[in-house]
């Protein structure tokens, strides 16, 4: 193959050309949570490094992320060669809305837990709960280990849309929340979190049961979610409700030197 030439098509896209043929392309996009994600697709392996070099050289000072299928070690190695390091590994799950956990575990849902359906919680208290759980997660394992936020929201307003959140109330206190976004016949569980001091009292299980029942009543048969592989408590909970792993992803990041 002759020398690979890189052309920047626009602000977000690059092309690799060799022998007057397009042999690869790359792009950059910004997620609603503000993170920049880059991707490269090549038809000839030799085009990857020139594309990566050109893209990274024209995005100075930016923190860049990319996603790779968990089985694609070769692609992950290419990104690592470009200066990326593994940030997180997540499982992808698909779960039926009609599955209930075993009866003995179901009883642990918490008799003192009350669920406020999506759109009915007090917005001020909901915002305070959202801030608290985010701060607790950030202080423990880091918010970057939570599922990506795919809906836009203002940088200073972390509550994406109050109408999407159901809330668990425990002993009169807003204890936890779950965010579900429906699209067609499927839905995504984008967030399930409980205040650290109120965990292991059934709030998370009650929230998940409520969310699945609500989807089932709406005629939606399946829901999907992503869980960081280090969150064993979350994977155990979802698997109790019949979630099955459908794949896994590796997120890599490159920070400015």
Q: In the chain, what are the domains?
A: 5-89 (3.40.630.30), 92-246 (3.40.630.30)
From the list 99, 94, 115, the residue with the least C-alpha distance to 206 is 115
pTM listed for this prediction = 0.81
From the list 149, 252, 157, the residue with the least C-alpha distance to 193 is 149
- The total of other beta-carbon atoms located within 10 Å of residue 128's CB is 13
Two structure tokens written together for 26: 């790359």
* pLDDT per position as a tens digit, 203-236: 999 999 999 999 999 999 999 999 999 899 999 9
* pLDDT per position as a tens digit, 144-174: 777 666 555 555 667 778 999 999 999 999 9
Two structure tokens written together for 6: 């890189």
* pLDDT per position as a tens digit, 40-75: 999 999 999 999 999 999 998 899 999 999 999 999
């Amino acid at each position: 193959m002759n020398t690979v030439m890189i052309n920047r098509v626009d602000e977000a896209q690059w092309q690799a050309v060799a022998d007057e043929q397009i042999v690869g392309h790359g792009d950059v996009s910004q997620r609603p949570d503000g993170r920049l994600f880059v991707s490269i697709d090549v038809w000839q392996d030799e085009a990857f490094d020139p594309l990566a070099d050109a893209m990274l050289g024209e995005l100075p000072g930016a923190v860049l992320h990319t996603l790779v299928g968990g089985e694609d070690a070769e692609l992950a190695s290419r990104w690592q060669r470009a200066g990326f390091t593994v940030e997180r590994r997540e499982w992808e799950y698909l779960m039926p809305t009609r599955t209930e956990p075993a009866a003995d575990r179901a009883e642990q849902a918490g008799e003192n837990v009350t669920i406020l359906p999506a759109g009915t919680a007090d917005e001020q208290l909901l915002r305070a709960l959202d801030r608290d759980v985010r701060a607790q997660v950030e202080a423990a394992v880091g918010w970057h280990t939570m599922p990506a936020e795919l809906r836009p929201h203002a940088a200073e307003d972390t509550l994406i849309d109050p109408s999407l959140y159901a809330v668990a109330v425990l002993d009169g206190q807003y204890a936890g929340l779950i965010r579900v976004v429906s699209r067609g016949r499927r839905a995504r569980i984008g967030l399930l979190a409980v205040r650290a001091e109120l965990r292991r009292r059934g709030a998370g299980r009650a929230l998940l049961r409520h969310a699945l029942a609500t989807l089932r009543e709406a005629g939606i048969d399946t829901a999907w979610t992503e869980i960081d592989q280090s969150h064993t408590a979350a994977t155990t909970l979802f698997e109790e409700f019949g979630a099955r792993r459908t794949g896994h992803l590796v997120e890599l990041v490159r920070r400015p030197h």
